Amino acid sequence: MNTKIQTLTVKLSDAEIGRNAKLEHVRDLRDAGHPALHFRFGKNRTRGSWYLVNKRRWHRIGAFPDLSAKQVLAALPSVRLRVSADAGSAISQWATTGELLTWYADRMARDRNLSAKRKNTGASAMKCHLLPRLGDLPLVEVNKAELDKLLMWPLQETLSIDYVRLAFQLLALAFRQALALGLITSNPMAGIKFKDFSKAKVSVKPSRLRGVQLQDLLGELGQVMGSEPADAMLAMMMLCHGTRIGETRQARWSHISLAEGEWFIPAEHTKTGVEHHLPLTEQVRALLIQYRDTQTARGYDGQYLFPARSGKALSEGQASAVFTRLGKGEWTSHDLRKVARTTWADLGIDHLIGELLINHAMGHNVQVYIQSAVMGRKRDALEKWHAYLDQKGLSLIHGQTGVRFKESGNTLEAANGVACSTIQKSTIGED
């Protein structure tokens, strides 16, 4: 038997590599159908490397078994073109975009730093759009033209531009993460931008609730409070504080300090991932006391302000259903947040205080600003807001008299885009 180190010409496959791994004298395998494609065994003969030989130069394609024979053969035409263009020969352990996306979908599902809502949104975009449309696209063929043909243009025909952008950003993020971890040698999406496919701007939806509607809104919530107190209270807490639906529906009584007059929202419940502290005004304290008494009278003594029948907090879907009932298609939970923020500006509440109340993400410079005095200014702002709501009907719901703004005898009026000004004896100032 000839034991000289040699190159065998075979029909390359994983099985063929396995058979020849037992033959120590065989160093290289060359594909019979593609003579320029070589496989070289490593010291551990269960592993090896793929090469494309071009003009006597050996261009490494990748490692085996990370890249199977089937994957390399499928990518070979594109590898040849890349070598000819001096763009390199290396390819990923994945042959298709679908393999990369499947990896990223699994990674995203197990990322504890992502909220359940973000995970669900990402998983839906992957399952319904990215994987069906790009799953079979070879990684080496990812370019603007293919993405436009397979993904972007078909999506914009049936989906909002906001969602199309979300899908594109998720795709780009998957490629960036794979590159950062060295799972692909280059990012074919590095120079591709959303504006390459569409000049449409992501819309900012105006609020469907306006300040002039607050009196009617509070009147409706007052009626609902008698029959469905949890529905009304969920809306009231959002309107009074400008909180998000996710932050509000998960509230626990242990987060509420009536004695200290504070509502604590833990970081895991906020969109920004930062814990949030909100002052409780006398009006809201009265609402909470009444609401807790109602829960007790109805036989509930659990930890949640808004419990589901399961004993846990309302789910995202259950909370959304509340606003389907309340809004009747005319407004949503987010409109409560918008009308609060807009009216704060009309009342002359400092912009930064408004941003802190609404818990928008803040940059470093803003963090420097935050100090012990801010909580007091947030309280002043909410007291001004709730005094304004009292005049629109909130006082009929909480039933309190003699709270600070009522004692002043002054009235608050919000002008259209102009800071609210009472008579000169107003008890509140922004300084």
Q: What is the pLDDT of residues 172-184, one digit of tens each?
A: 999 999 988 888 8
pLDDT for the residue 255? 97
Residue 372 has pLDDT above 70, yes or no: no
With beta carbons less than 8 A apart as the criterion, state whether 289 and 245 touch.
no
Residue 371 has pLDDT above 60, yes or no: no
Q: Where residue 220 falls among pLDDT bands split at 50, 70, 90?
A: very high
Residue 159 has pLDDT above 80, yes or no: yes
- pLDDT, greater one: 354 or 140: 354
CA atoms within 13 A on the CB side of 37: 21
Share of the chain above pLDDT 90, in %: 59
What does the pLDDT average to over 217-227?
93
- pLDDT, greater one: 418 or 36: 36
Cα angle: 14, vertex 17, 21; to 5 degrees? 140
pLDDT for the residue 139? 83
Q: Of 10-24, 290-304, 364-378, where does mean pLDDT reach its minimum?
A: 364-378
What does the pLDDT average to over 187-216?
79
pLDDT for the residue 369? 52
pLDDT for the residue 235? 96
* DSSP, res 3: -
Helix axes of 373-389 and 282-297: crossing angle, nearest 10 degrees: 70
pLDDT for the residue 86? 63
Q: Where residue 186 falls among pLDDT bands split at 50, 70, 90?
A: confident
Residue 377 has pLDDT above 60, yes or no: yes
Q: Say what the pTM is.
A: 0.58
pLDDT for the residue 70? 92
pLDDT digits (tens, 9 = 90+) for 98-155: 999 999 999 999 988 787 778 889 999 999 999 999 998 888 788 999 999 999 999 9
Q: Of 128-132, 211-215, 311-315, 347-351, where does mean pLDDT reach its minimum?
A: 211-215
CA distance 397 to 217: 12
Q: What is the dihedral of CA 363, 368, 371, 373, to 10 degrees?
A: -80
Residue 431 has pLDDT above 60, yes or no: no
pLDDT for the residue 92? 59
Question: What average pLDDT is seen over the chain?
Answer: 84
What are the residue ranges of helices labelled H in 8-147?
A: 14-20, 69-84, 97-109, 116-125, 131-134, 144-147
Residue 238 has pLDDT above 50, yes or no: yes
pLDDT digits (tens, 9 = 90+) for 4-42: 678 899 999 999 999 999 998 999 999 999 999 999 998
pLDDT for the residue 165? 93
Cα of 352 vs its chain's centroid, Å: 24
Residue 212 has pLDDT above 90, yes or no: no
What are the residue ranges of helices labelled H in 298-358?
A: 316-327, 333-346, 351-358
Highest-confidence segment of 198-202, 352-356, 374-378, 387-391 = 387-391
What does the pLDDT average to over 204-226?
82
Residue 58 has pLDDT above 90, yes or no: no
Residue 343 has pLDDT above 70, yes or no: yes
With beta carbons less than 8 A apart as the criterion, state whether 417 and 404 touch.
no
What does the pLDDT average to over 383-404?
83
With beta carbons less than 8 A apart as the criterion, state whether 311 and 302 touch.
yes
Q: Where residue 399 falls among pLDDT bands split at 50, 70, 90?
A: confident
Q: Identify the burial level of 110 via C-beta atoms within 10 angstroms of its C-beta, where 0-12 means exposed, 13-18 middle and 19 or more buried.
A: exposed
Domains in the chain, CATH or no CATH each: 6-84 (3.30.160), 97-196 (1.10.150.130), 211-408 (1.10.443.10)
- Residue 64 neighbours by CB under 8 Å, 6+ apart: 17, 39, 47, 48, 49, 50
pLDDT digits (tens, 9 = 90+) for 250-281: 999 999 999 999 999 998 898 888 889 999 99
pLDDT for the residue 203? 59
